[in-house]
């Protein structure tokens, strides 16, 4: 049974705890606040119900303990997940304690939403087994983890971290290097920045933006990422989409003062090559037909949830 230590009994920490318990780990949750510590079992139970409702339940029989401080919890720990406040000084102090107090092969990760590990652990020699494991809220049911290394994080630590999270039921996406905001928040931020601009300019109101995303972009993005979405919208795949729409997207970006808006032939070749490794060009029509059926089912279910959420 793998030993996993989670620092912090907030929503993210309890969500992680529920997932690793369901996967069969021995989980220790460290929470200094007595009231929050007393609420750990009920909080994990609520997360467990969400896991079951999502059809992700494994029932592998983990073991839960909690404590006010680390004490000897680090002994034998394979993985430590820091889920404290998004405060650099706090995380620096916690990581110093974890590095000094844990065994040499213990992985130490932070669930930070924006802080790269090199900010938290500036000394490259200390970074070897430290990395970011950025979840999507709530991690109990949205099973994506971005793994972002520091310059000193070893490839072996990245591989072990991917194995730990994959075995717990996450889809771990390793990044080649650290970048502020990681991938999810940079993509999310790009959409949100443009949404604010469009509202500020009076092009559309907030309700209009919400409707465009909820009824238009959202259902497709629930099934496909931006590259697959683009090529399913255009006969001929990524190359055809870039040829048809590249100049328009470049114009929109440059009008906003953005840089590197042109998709070079080499870049399109790279993206097309990676897409073709996933799906052959001749299989695109069948995939597009599948999307029509899948979106239809998703929209029907989404609308039933939306009606129930509004008391209808």
Do 239 and 124 lie in one domain? The reply is no
Do 68 and 170 lie in one domain? The reply is yes
Percentages of the chain per state (helix, strand, coil), in multiples of 5: 55, 10, 35
Residues 223-239 have a mean pLDDT of 94
CA distances from 50 to 78, 138, 166, 271, 297 (A): 26, 10, 19, 36, 21
The answer to whether residue 264 is domain-embedded is yes
| C-alpha–C-alpha distance, residues 181 and 86, integer Å | 13
Do 139 and 268 lie in one domain? The reply is no
The answer to whether residue 248 is domain-embedded is yes
Instruction: Convert the pLDDT of each residue in 31-48 to its tens digit.
Output: 999 999 999 999 999 999
Do 133 and 259 lie in one domain? The reply is no
* Domain containing residue 55: 3-174
308 falls in which pLDDT band (50, 70, 90)?
confident
The answer to whether residue 185 is domain-embedded is no
Helix axes 40-53, 11-22, angle to 10 degrees: 60
Residue 185 burial class via C-beta count within 10 angstroms: exposed 0-12, middle 13-18, buried 19 and up: middle
pLDDT surpassing 50 at residue 312: no
The answer to whether residue 263 is domain-embedded is yes
Do 20 and 168 lie in one domain? The reply is yes
Instruction: Convert the pLDDT of each residue in 138-189 to its tens digit.
Output: 999 999 999 999 999 999 999 999 999 999 999 999 999 999 889 999 999 9
Query: 130-148 burial, b if ≥16 CB within 10 A, otherwise e?
Result: bbbbbbeebbbbebebbbb
Helix axes 237-255, 265-278, angle to 10 degrees: 130
Do 21 and 163 lie in one domain? The reply is yes
Q: What is the pLDDT of residue 309?
A: 72
Q: What is the pTM of this model?
A: 0.89
The answer to whether residue 288 is domain-embedded is yes
Total domains, the chain: 2
Q: How many CA atoms lie within 13 A of 210 on its CB side?
A: 3
Do 260 and 164 lie in one domain? The reply is no
CB atoms < 10 A from the CB of 59, how many? 11
Do 160 and 273 lie in one domain? The reply is no
Place of tokens 């979405």: 229
The answer to whether residue 44 is domain-embedded is yes
The answer to whether residue 266 is domain-embedded is yes
Q: Which of 49, 111, 120 lies closest to 85 in space, CA to CA?
A: 111
The answer to whether residue 297 is domain-embedded is yes
pLDDT surpassing 80 at residue 311: no
CB 35 within 8 A of CB 57: no
Do 87 and 232 lie in one domain? The reply is no
CB 116 within 8 A of CB 179: yes
Do 11 and 160 lie in one domain? The reply is yes
CA distances from 205 to 173, 208, 211, 216 (A): 35, 5, 10, 16
| C-alpha–C-alpha distance, residues 183 and 79, integer Å | 23
Residues 51-74 have a mean pLDDT of 93
Q: What is the pLDDT of residue 307?
A: 83
pLDDT surpassing 80 at residue 49: yes
Q: What is the pLDDT of residue 310?
A: 61
Which CATH number covers residue 28?
3.40.50.720
CB 18 within 8 A of CB 55: no
């Amino acid at each position: 049974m793998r030993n996993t230590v989670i620092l912090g009994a907030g929503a993210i920490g309890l969500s992680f705890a529920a997932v690793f318990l369901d996967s069969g780990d021995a989980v220790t949750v460290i929470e200094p606040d007595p009231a929050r510590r007393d609420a750990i079992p009920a909080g994990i139970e609520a997360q467990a119900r969400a896991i079951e409702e999502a059809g992700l339940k494994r029932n592998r029989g983990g073991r839960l303990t909690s404590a006010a401080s680390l004490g000897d919890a680090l002994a034998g720990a394979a993985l430590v997940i820091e889920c404290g406040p998004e405060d650099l000084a706090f995380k620096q102090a916690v990581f110093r304690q974890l590095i000094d107090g844990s065994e040499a092969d213990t992985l130490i990760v932070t669930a930070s939403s924006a802080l790269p590990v090199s900010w938290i652990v500036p000394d490259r020699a200390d970074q070897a087994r430290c990395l970011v494991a950025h979840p999507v809220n709530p991690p109990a049911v949205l099973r994506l983890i971005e793994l972002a290394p520091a310059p000193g994080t070893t490839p072996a630590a990245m591989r072990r971290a991917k194995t730990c999270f994959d075995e717990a039921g996450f889809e771990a996406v390793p990044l080649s290097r650290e970048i502020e905001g990681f991938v999810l928040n940079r993509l999310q931020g790009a959409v949100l920045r443009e949404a604010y601009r469009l509202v500020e300019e009076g092009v559309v109101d907030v309700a209009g933006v919400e409707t465009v995303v909820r009824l238009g972009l959202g259902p497709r993005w629930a099934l496909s990422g931006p590259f697959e979405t683009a090529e399913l919208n255009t006969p001929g795949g990524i190359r055809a989409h870039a040829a048809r729409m590249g100049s328009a997207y470049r114009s929109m970006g440059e009008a906003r003062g953005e840089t590197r808006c042109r998709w070079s032939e080499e870049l399109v070749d790279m993206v097309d090559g990676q897409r073709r490794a996933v799906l052959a060009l001749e299989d695109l029509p069948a995939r597009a037909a599948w999307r029509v059926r899948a979106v239809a089912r998703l929209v029907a279910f989404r609308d039933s949830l939306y009606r129930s959420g509004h008391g209808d």
